[in-house]
Amino acid sequence: MRSPRNPSRRNRNIGTAKQGHGVNNRLVIPKGAWRDEREFTERLVNPREYSFEVYGEKKIALVEEPTPGHFYGCTIADIEHLLGMASEQDVSGLEVFLFRNPTRKQRLLSSVWGRFLYYARPGKYEGSAICFESQSLEPLSWKKSLGPEDQREMNRLREDGHRIELGRRSVEVHLSHASIRATTLFRTALHEIGHYVDWMTNVIDFEGTAEEGEYASRTFYSKPSAMKEDFAHRYALEAFERLKSEGKAPFGVRWDTEPMESSEILRHWFVGEDA
């Protein structure tokens, strides 16, 4: 009877990913120092600190200086004004706002307009945070074969004022100062507040027994990300439509020259050098 194993035959997995080929060459975002367990989104380099109040509650903004050609799209005063028009219940306890400048590798592998961090430790401050990332006017290139969610996002970008061009192999998204501001302030900021409201409602402020609270927490964290994103998108859309109907949005750039300069925070970090 023929043996099922022939040692002279070459293992088909040799030189493939199954045996680890190329593992050390993968493009990944490096971790910080071995003593620093924080995610890269929490590690800011020499951030400027600025405090403000909304509904009598102190808020902290930590701002990294963006690299040349990049800016944040909206100012801290814009965020302060937007929070003041939101429901006090929706923004109570949301105290940390990060303006971070991603590295080139982070932009390549994890590019976003903003993030909601359930718990962040950027230096001496900690708690739930909304993080905004610096952007540039360089066009964004998307694959031409878009899935349903990508198509919906493309439509949202078009509504924000970005110019969409269909090429032979890709879709080009052309940005402007105005369209970046619209996406950052009137959609992303409200979207991340929506994530905060969803989390607070279903986990933190849940009323019930300890067992019911633990079940609610497990249910929330096991919920598909698409469901959480749908809630945040819906919250942002409804909030902006309400502000728009009340004549409160969109609004122009807000800036506090003296306190910002005393904190060594410059205006062009938020609106761009050539805006």
CA torsion 43-49-55-57 (nearest 10°) is: 70
Q: Which distant-in-sequence residues (6+ apart) come within 8 Å of 71 by Cβ?
A: 134, 135, 136, 180, 268, 269, 270, 271, 272, 273, 275
Write down the pLDDT at residue 1: 56
Amino acid 80 reads E
Q: Which residues, given as ranges, of the chain have pLDDT below 50?
A: none
Write down the pLDDT at residue 11: 66
Q: Confirm if 114 and 188 have CB atoms less than 8 A apart.
A: yes
Write down the pLDDT at residue 167: 83
CA atoms within 13 A on the CB side of 198: 24
Mean pLDDT over each residue of the chain, to the nearest integer: 89
Q: Which tens digits make up the pLDDT trace of 137-179? A: 999 998 888 889 999 999 999 999 999 998 888 999 999 999 9
pTM: 0.87
Q: Which distant-in-sequence residues (6+ apart) come within 8 Å of 50 by Cβ?
A: 60, 61, 62, 63, 76, 259, 260, 263, 265
- Provide the phi-psi class of 71: left if phi over 0, else alpha when psi is between -120 and 50, else beta: beta
Give the residue from 91, 191, 172, 92 showing the smallest Cα distance to 132.
191
Q: Confirm if 183 and 157 have CB atoms less than 8 A apart.
A: yes
Phi, psi of 114 (to 5 degrees): -165, 170
Write down the pLDDT at residue 35: 66
Structural domain boundaries of the chain? 40-138+175-271
